[in-house]
Structures are given as structure tokens and as C-alpha cells.
Amino acid sequence: MIVLFFIPLFIVALAKRLLSPKQTKSIDKKHVVVTGGSSGIGKSAAVLAARKGANVTIIARNLERLSSAEKEIAAACIHKDQIVTSVSVDVSNRKAIQSELDKLEEKIGPIYMLINCAGMALCGKVEDFTEQDINTLISANFLGTLYPIQSVIPKFKDRKEGIIVLTASQVALMGMFGYSIYSSCKFALRGLAESISMELKPYNVSVTLALPPDTDTPGFENENKTKPEETHLISQTGGLLAPDTVAEKLLQDALILLSALSQFLHILEQNCNNRELRVLSKVLVYRKKDETVVGRVHSAIVSAVNFDLRSATVEWFEQGETKGKEIDMTAIASLNPDIVILKPGERYIQEPTHQTQTSGNKLQRDSSGSSEEETSAAMAQSGRFTHKLDESDDDFNSNQFSPETATLSNPTRQSVVSVKSNNGVMRSAQQIRVTQNMLPNNGHTLPSNDVVINKESNIPTSRAVQNSRRSNVVKEVEKLKKNREERRQRQAEEKAEKEAFLQLAPGNPHWELLNMILEYRRGLDIKPLSENDTIEDHLITVCVRKRPLNKKEGARKEVDVITVPSKNQLIVHEPKNKVDLTKYLENQLFRFDYAFDETCSNEMVYRYTAQPLIKTIFEGGFATCFAYGQTGSGKTHTMGGDFNGKSQHCHKGIYAMASADVFKLTNSPKYRHLNLIVSSSFFEIYSGKVFDLLNNKAKLRILEDGKQQVQVVGLTEKVVCTTDEVLKLIQKGNQARTSGQTFANSNSSRSHAVFQIYLRSNSNTQKVHGKFSLIDLAGNERGADTSSANRQTRMEGAEINKSLLALKECIRALGRKGAHLPFRVSKLTQVLRDSFVGSNSRTCMIAMVSPGVSSCEHTLNTLRYADRVKELGGGDLQTNTLSDDSHSDGDLLQLRSLNENDMTPEMLNFHQVISELEIAEENMLDNHKQTTDELYATYQKAIGLLKTTDEVTYDQEAYCKNWEELVNNAVSLLVKSQEIVADYKAKMSAEEQLSRKTKRK
């Protein structure tokens, strides 16, 4: 009778504890230690602990951050006598952290809670990590957590209380590209947490493992800098959590009291020795018969409880012998709904979610059970990133034992199906209650101890009850199913859009790219440059011009990847692929002084670029306007005029329009009194050599006079009086200019063409009053031809590369008055020296870009070059100790230091070899000419000497002496020439070997 009296009381008490909401432990007036507490999640956790009344100690190494964080934490305190202190110590130093924690206990009091937030992330591919990098990551992320835990565990065990929190990461659940070492450390933390949780279970010490996703902390900023490109691609769509959000969840979960299951286990343990207690004593024995599962329910006694495995051992007497088995606690709870307080006549109903097959007494895994990956994904979606290691999964909680039920008219039997996930952890059992009149047995009921569950039977249930009874795993699986259905619906919609778009652009291989670009443009407010916009005055003007798609690009169905949304902006839609091969756009925005779209004419381009520079040369200055870009981007069209086949209509180019304005201003009342003479020259620079285009491509020499002024020796300069005379000169020069056929252009310019207009005073000295240099540069992509099999192509590419870099640095130096000019690096900057050093010098650059997707890389290179030119224009004044008379080698080294990304050490070495080869070639050619002249003079002398022997009486001694002298002179000339040729051959061989090495790399 006494036992019967206490059993109902026990059941009521158990039900109340299971149904009551979770309570949290209090840390008011208790000592909380936070490692890594100077910033990020650690600081946020420390602030929250202070708000809960705790005495807080933060540990880190950075004294400045510690001091700032300590003030912030102190401001969050709710009691006047709360203690907040900070300690600077390396947590990966075991002795140091042990000593500091001992001192803290003596000073502030026993440590009740340890929150480990110290750590750092360093990304990269596994083979790139050095031994020092690996040791640093292990020390910061694993040892920096292990050593503080080792220091506090003996104290926690003695006091039989304490809380330990370990902060890992979601890469502790699944490895990730670029996080090989960091992820390994976090996996180690996960193993450490699970292991010490078992060790500390008997001592009432709880262990919580936090697995936060990307969080907005200073550490994450540093982490991003080391991420490989692939890691950025697969993580760029994820958002960042605030440290306060993570810390709040971390602290909340760490302070939750024992869960319903843990309370359940403790109650069972206290009563398991009472063999008369039959509270949770029902188990199932399965047998398979056709398409049904037959189970027998009987009583048993709890004999032992296993906290680590969350199971109970039960025993029962059957057929004269005692039998026993170990049963998961969730299954026991599911079989015993009578512990829940129910209203009279009500029964607990839950619809089955999984279907399983069983064989004998062995439970088979459900093929539709949630996998570990699904569970992890569900956890991420639900926002849960902590795992309290002293409680069960969220499947088993007080919500499963809610008193909300459905009413049935007939008594029921019970059957349980347990589902085992891939990771071997028993998930919550699914419970079915079936009324006798619903069983598929021809209207007859089974024997009282048996129940049959037909897989195809449809059991009517209350939807509200079903939703409230389903476990979290079931809900998350259904959420995954819903997401999968929505994803498939989106894919179907995208497929329909694709088919509709393909009808608009049939046969276009770039239809996806075109669709994304058109969609992007629809969201832009496009306001291109117009003739009504004001002309701005700049020392250095940098603009960009986009040409339309040409016939070849149209035939290849290329997509226009350039958008000009405003008068000074240009967007390049660079196509990219993610790791999963998904296509996307990287929209790169560039800003310049002016941006011309494909509808702008040469007249409009001239109005904003070269025309404002005309007045500069009339005011005694030097102006430079040049077109830069890849082959076929429209440079020669812009500078020289329209093409009709291979012939060019020069009157529509900047050359002709600038000449017309020069003559107009020369005769204007403002400048007529200067009495200026207009003259022009036209030359090209090809492979480091200068050729006169107005004098049958005669080779010219670049020399400096005594005043260090650069002179082009032998250059033809024609006096012109009308625009027509200028057009004739331009047409003559264009016909003589070096060109070749490329994939992009059938008439590609392979040299820098320089057309100069001089204003000279009409006096005996004819001093230069002003000079306007108009330059059509060689294609910038030819600068990459330094690994070609042809030496001429290699030298041509190297010279173009070097000259373009030198030109850029000279223009930038123009914006930094007093900076050193590396003009001796190339012939181009040598002939333009006076345009950079003059007190009244102005420059305009027109960057020409091709819109086709196949030219996207060259287009970006052109825009980056132009952006670098403008970067320091008009900036602060800088000086340089180098003077303008420094050697070309020094200029080349300076050019390398200013363009480390564009000129690698290998490229610098190659340029030096090419420069030496060019000097050797010039020496050889000069020697050849000199030797030829001297040998011809020797030849004339030898003929005269030979004629003296025709006389009957000639001086034999004088003849021998003179002839020997002529022979010796000739031999010495030839020996010297032979040495110069050998030197040139050696330098050619060195260049060939270096080129082969560069090509192999």
C-alpha cells in the first residue's frame, strides 16, 4: 500500500519537471573568466556576463585593446561592488596561464565559469603553410583553450560545480577549402569538449561547445586577407553575425540547467534500486510477418542508468528466466505516455514520419532518416550554433510531453519505430496510437498483447497535435524538403526564362552573360556625356573611349561587356565562374575625367581631350595627347581618322582637327602679334629605334646636347601653312608606318607614331615657342610578347612594355612636381622629355577599349593602366634625391620599384639584357659604318701606292713601309670589328637562353 501511495506522487513530480520550462543558472556575484576577451565574441560575452552581475576577468595579449575592453565591460556592470579586471598573458603558455589563474582566484574569488574565445584563423592551401604557421595556429586555437581548461578542472572538481565553454567554429563540423589547418584545430576542440564532458559528468561541471558561423570581428577581417580565391567564391554569399548575437546565444546555452532528459536520468538513477518501481518499464519485441510489424508490449524493471550513453538497462522475467536489454531513453519515454498528466478520455497521438523495416530483434536504419549533413544544415538554418554536451539533442525536450492531446472513442495499443541516423546516434522514436476499429484485420481485433501497423494505412490525426508533437529533427527535415521543392520550382522558372531568352537570342553561346548584363543595365540610370557638359581644366586629363562591336565580333556573336552609365564612369562586366561552375558577373567600376561611349564621334572626343591643350602651346607650353589601348581598340582611328580598307581619311582624326585649330589661333587677333611659324614632323619608334616617316623611314639618332636637351638628329621638319598640307604629311607618314596583321586587326600598328606640331618664332633663331605632341601608341597587349619564339617579336614586345611603363611614370611625375623622371628608360620618353619637364606642360590620355567579351582581360589591363596614371595626378608635391642625369640602369630599377606588379624580377632582368643587346647592336652598326669608311679610305691609298710601283725607279723601302702600315691598320680595324661582332653574338645568345627560361616558366 505504501508503494502504491508513492507511485502517483512520483509520476506527478516527474511530469511537472518535464513540463516546466528550462531554467538558467545564475552567475550573479560569481567569477567569470573570458580568454580572448579584448575584442570580438570574447568581449561581447564578457559584457553580457557583467550585465548579469558577474565579476569578470578578461585575458588577452594586446594591452591597448584590453584597456579599452575593460572600460566597456565596467560600464555594463549592474552592481557597485562588481569587479572587472584584465590580464595580459599568452594562453598557450601553460605555466603562465596556470600562475595567473591561481592569482585571480586568490584576488577575486573562485572561478565559476571559463569562456574560451581566444583563437585566430589563417587561410591558405595546405602545402603553402610553413612550420611556424602551423605551430601558431595550433597554439592559438587548441593549446590556448586546452591549458586554461587544464588549470581550472581540478578546482571545479573539488567544488563540484563549474561551467566550461569552448568556442570552435562551423568548420569543426565539416572541412572547408582553404581551412585545412584551422579546421583541424577546431575538430580537435570538438573532440576535447566531448571527452571532458564525459569526464566531468560526475562532478556537476557542464561543458558547452559553441560552433558559430562567420562573425563580424577584427579576427575575421584578418582572416579574409589570407583566404584563397576559391574560398572567397564559395563564401561570398554568406552574411556575418554580430559578436553580440553569438555571445548572447553562447552564454544563454551555457547557463541552461539540466535538460528534461538529464532530469529524467537523475530520477531514474535515484530509484533504479527499488525493484518494485515500474515507472518506465515497457519494451518492444519485434517480429516480421509479410508487410506488417507485430510488437509485444510487456513490463520490465529499470536496473541501471547509463548517463554517457543516455540509456537504461531493463530486466523482466519470461518463461522461467530473467531477460534484459539496454534501451535508449527516448524510446522509453515514448513508450510511457502515462507519465504525462492527461485529461480523462484523452490519448497522445503522433503521426509516423519515417517507415522502417525490422528483422528479429535488430533494428534496421530508416532509409529516409535524416543524415548528419541534413542535421548540420538544419542546425545552421535554425540559428543554433551551440551544443550542450551534458544534455541530449533537441529531439528530446519537454515539448514532446505536452498535455495537448486528441480524443479517441476506443482504447488503443502502442507501437514504436526508432530511427537511427547515419552517425549512429539514436534519434527520437516516432509514436503511433491506433484504435482497434482502424486495424486492417477484416474488422477483427488482434489478441490483446499484439498490434499490427500497416504501412499504407491512413491514420486520421489532429494537425495541430501533429505539429506540436513532432520532434525538431522532423521539423527540420520537412523544412529541408520545403526548401528543396522551392529550389526545384526556381530551377523550373529559370529554365523557362532561359528558353524564352534563347528565342530572343537564338544560337548565342553567351546568352547567359548577355541576360545578366541586360538585367544589370535595367537597374541603371544612364546619363552619358553630352555636348552641353562643361569642359574641366586638368593638368593631367585621363579619359576612356569605348568603340562599338566590329563585324568580326558580331560574326562571333560576342557580348558587349562594357557599360558607360555616366559622363565619367565606366563599368566592365567581367564574366566569372564559381567553384561549382555557376556563372556570375563581377561588375568593376572605373572613374575617369571623361567616359565616351560607342555613340561619340571623333569630333566630340577631340572637343574634350586635345582641343583644350591647343591654347597651352600658344602660351609657351608643351602639350601631349596620346591614345593607349590594345590592338584594334580604335587608337589609330581616333588619332588619324576613318579607315576605308587600308587607306585612311585623315581629315576626321585628332591630328587634322588639332592642326586646323592651330592655324585658326595663329591667325586670330589674340596671337597674331606673336608672328609664329607652324611646322610639323612625323616619326615612329619601333623596337627601340627611331625612323623618320617623312624621309623614307630614315633611321634617326637620339642625343643630348650640352644643355641636356634631347635632340632627334636628322629629323625632317616641314613648315606648313594650311590644314591640307598637314593632311598630306599625315597621309604620307601613315603609309610608311610599320604595321602588321593580327587576329584583332588586319592593319595593326606595331610602333609608336609621334606627330608633332611646332610653333617657332619668326626670327633668325627660330626658337620653339610651343610644341604639341600627338601620339598613337602601339597595342599594349604586344608588350606581353616577351616569350615569343622570334627574337624580333621579343625585342619589339619588351620595348613596348618598357616604354609604356616609363611613359606612365613620367606622366605621374608630372603631377608630382620635383619628382624624378625616368625618361632615359625608353626612346619614347626621351623624345618627349621637354613635355614633362616644362613649367607649363599638360597631358591628355585617351584609353581605348574594345567592348567584346574576348577582349575583357586586355580591356581591364588598359583601364588599370589609365587609372594608375591618374592616381597621383595633382597630388602632394614630392621630391626625389635622384637627378635627371642618372643613368638608364638607375631609371630602369626605379621603374621596377614603382611597378612591382607589372614588372617582375625576371622581367627586369630581361629588360636589362635587351638593353645591353640594343647597345651592342648600335655599337656594332656604328663600327660597321666606321670600318667601311676607313677600309674604303685604305683601299684608295692602296691603289695610289700600287701605282707608284709602275715607275722604273721607285723607292722600295718607302713602298714596303707604307704598305705594311696600310695592312696593319686594316687588320686592327677588322680585329676590333670581330670583337664587337663576337660581343653582340654573346649577348644574343644570353637573350635567347633567358627567353627560353622565361617561356618554360
pLDDT in tens, 591-637: 999 999 999 999 999 999 999 999 999 998 999 998 888 888 888 88
How far is residue 480's CA from residue 141's CA, in Å, rounded to a whole number? 33
All three cell numbers of 816: 608630382
Task: Report the candidate in 607, 468, 609, 492 with the shortest Cα–Cα distance to residue 540.
Answer: 609
Query: How is residue 172 annotated by DSSP?
Result: G
Interval 503-525 mean pLDDT: 78
Identify residue 812 by its one-letter amino acid code.
Answer: R
Q: Are 27 and 254 in contact (CB under 8 A)?
A: no
- Cβ-based neighbours of 922, under 8 Å, separated by 6 or more: none
How far is residue 124's CA from residue 811's CA, in Å, rounded to a whole number? 38
> 706-709 long-range contacts, Cβ below 8 Å, gap at least 24?
708/884, 708/885, 709/834
Query: If pLDDT is split at 50, 70 and 90, which confidence band does 441 have?
Result: very low
CA distances (Å), 674 to each of 311, 709, 725, 762, 770, in order? 107, 24, 22, 8, 12
Query: If pLDDT is split at 50, 70 and 90, which confidence band does 464 have?
Result: very low
Sign of CA dihedral 265, 269, 271, 274: positive
Query: How is residue 8 annotated by DSSP?
Result: H
* SS3 at position 759: strand
Sign of CA dihedral 622, 628, 634, 635: positive
Exposure string (b/e) for 840-869, b if CB count within 10 Å is 16 or more? ebbbbbbbbbbbbbbbbebbebbbebbebb
Q: In this prediction, what percent of the chain has a pLDDT beyond 90? A: 18
How far is residue 623's CA from residue 614's CA, in Å, rounded to a whole number? 8
Exposure string (b/e) for 485-503, b if CB count within 10 Å is 16 or more? eeeeeeeeeeeeeeeebee
How far is residue 885's CA from residue 672's CA, in Å, rounded to a whole number? 38
The pLDDT of residue 564: 93
The pLDDT of residue 614: 92
**Out of 263-277, 535-549, 687-701, least confident range:** 263-277
The pLDDT of residue 365: 33
Q: According to the annotation, is 631 in a ligand binding site?
A: yes
Phi and psi at residue 588, to the nearest 5° = -100, 125
**Out of 12-26, 514-528, 952-966, least confident range:** 12-26
How far is residue 36's CA from residue 32's CA, in Å, rounded to a whole number? 13
Task: Count Cβ atoms within 10 A of the Cβ of residue 953 and give its class: 0-12 exposed, 13-18 middle, 19 or more buried.
Answer: exposed
Which bin fits 392, alpha (ψ -120 to 50), beta or left (φ > 0)? Answer: beta
Q: How many CB atoms lie within 10 A of CB 913?
A: 19
**pTM exceeds 0.75:** no
Per DSSP bridges, beta strands 676-686 and 647-649 are: unpaired
Residue 535 has pLDDT above 80, yes or no: yes
> 551-556 long-range contacts, Cβ below 8 Å, gap at least 24?
553/850, 553/851, 553/852, 553/854, 556/852, 556/854
All three cell numbers of 756: 608633332
How far is residue 868's CA from residue 858's CA, in Å, rounded to a whole number? 15
Interval 199-215 mean pLDDT: 86
Q: According to the annotation, is 635 in a ligand binding site?
A: yes
- Cell 507501437 belongs to 415
Q: Are 65 and 148 in contact (CB under 8 A)?
A: no
pLDDT tens-digit map of 761-807 = 887 777 888 999 998 888 766 445 444 556 677 777 777 878 888 88
Q: According to the annotation, is 633 in a ligand binding site?
A: yes
Q: According to the annotation, is 728 in a ligand binding site?
A: no
Interval 112-123 mean pLDDT: 90
Q: Are 156 and 148 in contact (CB under 8 A)?
A: no
Task: Count Cβ atoms within 10 A of the Cβ of residue 130 and give its class: 0-12 exposed, 13-18 middle, 19 or more buried.
Answer: exposed
The pLDDT of residue 58: 94
**Out of 138-142, 791-795, 966-970, least confident range:** 791-795
How far is residue 321's CA from residue 313's CA, in Å, rounded to a whole number? 17
Query: Which residues on adjacent β-strands are paired with residue 86?
Result: 58
- Cβ-based neighbours of 107, under 8 Å, separated by 6 or more: 85
Task: Report the candidate in 157, 168, 214 with the shortest Cα–Cα distance to residue 191.
Answer: 168
Per DSSP bridges, beta strands 676-686 and 752-761 are: antiparallel
The pLDDT of residue 83: 92
Maximum Cα–Cα distance for the chain, whole Å?
167
**Out of 266-280, 451-465, 589-603, 696-710, least confident range:** 451-465
Residue 330 has pLDDT above 90, yes or no: no
